[in-house]
Amino acid sequence: MSRKGNCLDNAVIESFFGTLKEEIFYETTTFTSTDELKQVIDEYIHYYNHDRIKSKLKGLSPVKYRNLVQLGLIQPLATT
């Protein structure tokens, strides 16, 4: 990821930031401090990785999916 001059490397993070903005910032108008903003972002990242299910990942959160793949309990998705 993040190879110089390869715009396709940005797709994953751009998708994440788009989701974060849609689910957090477009609904929240103001934050009382920078610390509050950092806390909200940290909590969202934890939620996104540990609790938010993704249909592409067989209805699992990213962390649960990765753990099951590493244990050999499910097959990883084919990459293209």
DSSP string for 44-61: HHHHHHHT--BGGGTTB-
Per-residue pLDDT reduced to its tens digit, 13-66: 888 899 999 988 887 668 899 999 999 999 999 999 999 999 999 999 999 999
* Residue 47, domain member (yes or no): yes
Domain of 28? 7-70
Burial class, 15, CB count within 10 angstroms (exposed 0-12 / middle 13-18 / buried 19+) = exposed
* Residue 1, domain member (yes or no): no
* Residue 80, domain member (yes or no): no
Total length of the chain: 80
Our count of domains for the chain comes to: 1
Per-residue pLDDT reduced to its tens digit, 51-65: 999 999 999 999 999
* Residue 53, domain member (yes or no): yes
* Residue 77, domain member (yes or no): no
- Confidence at residue 36, expressed as pLDDT on a 0 to 100 scale: 92
* Residue 79, domain member (yes or no): no
* Residue 75, domain member (yes or no): no
* Residue 61, domain member (yes or no): yes
